[in-house]
Structure 1
């Protein structure tokens, strides 16, 4: 495949999964400090289907769209103020989580069990980034940051990690069969 076609495929994949993340971001359950949203499910799906580099590129695209002011973040919000606000750490965490989740799968195997391990690691990364920014922006104690920014998301996070793993592997296999995705994501370089 010519290099231009590979680059175009990476751009299209990034745009599609940034859009999926924006759509799932609007599925939310309000909580006092940080809502539960579908964004983390989208991050897991993205990384499980696309792998490390393309997954991270999609999340950078998502964050950039939101930073530019498009209402792609939870609650149809957007703007740079969201990224530097109390919940911005989660969005930065999406980029790292997508990369690490995809990397774990690339270094092991694209199976549901390995995807569950990878997505659980990704969930922890997202929660860590989110909790740290929440703590410092809101001037919370560590206990308050954990209580508001981590604990409410653990059970739901495991459920989303399972869904992202199962759905992601099924979709990935079908895209590979349809020749819409390469067997391995080493072509992204």
Structure 2
């Protein structure tokens, strides 16, 4: 495959997963400050399927689409004010989460057990990034920020980490077999 085709595939895959994240962001359970949404599941899927570099680029694309005002964030919101607001830290955290989750899998193995570990680490990264911005933007105490930005998301985050791992590893193997993404020949792990 030529370098031009590789670059095009990289861009197309990133755009597809940025769009998937935008769609899944609209699946939400409203909470007082930070909603539970499908965004974090999409981030885990993106990293598990695409890996570190392409996953992070997809999340940068997602954040950029929202920053220019497209309604891709939870609740069909968009604009730089969302990124600067109480929940913006979570969105910035998606970029780091996608990179670290994908990198962990690249340096170990794309297997279900390792994907679960990598996605749990990713969940923690997203929650830490989100909680820092939440605390400072709303001038909360650490206790208040943890109560609003971490505790309600732990149980659902563990479920999402498992789902992102299971679905992500399965889809990744199928995409490699179809030669739609690069990767090692999938094992039966």
TM-score (ref. length: structure 1): 0.97
- State the Cα distance separating 1:142 from its structure 2 match: 0.2
Give, in whole Å, the separation in 2 of the partners of 1:108 and 1:139.
40
Superposed, 1:19-38 pairs within 5 Å as: 19-38=19-38
Across the aligned residues of Structure 1 and Structure 2, the Cα RMSD in angstroms comes to: 0.5
- Asked whether 1:113 is paired with 2:119, we answer no
For structure 2, the 5+ residue unaligned runs are 185-189
Provide, for residues 73-97 of structure 1, a one-character-per-residue CA deviation record: whole Å limited to 9, x for no partner.
0000000000000000000000000
Residue-pair matches, total: 184
1:187 maps to which residue?
none
Give, in whole Å, the separation in 2 of the partners of 1:7 and 1:96.
22
Give, in whole Å, the separation in 1 of the partners of 2:130 and 2:14.
23
Q: Secondary structure at the match of 1:131?
A: helix
Q: Secondary structure at the match of 1:72?
A: coil
Structure 1 stretches of at least 4 aligned residues deviating more than 2 Å after TM superposition: none
Give, in whole Å, the separation in 2 of the partners of 1:183 and 1:77.
35
- State the Cα distance separating 1:98 from its structure 2 match: 0.1
- Asked whether 1:40 is paired with 2:40, we answer yes
Provide, for residues 109-159 of structure 1, a one-character-per-residue CA deviation record: whole Å limited to 9, x for no partner.
000100000000000000000000000000000000000000000000000
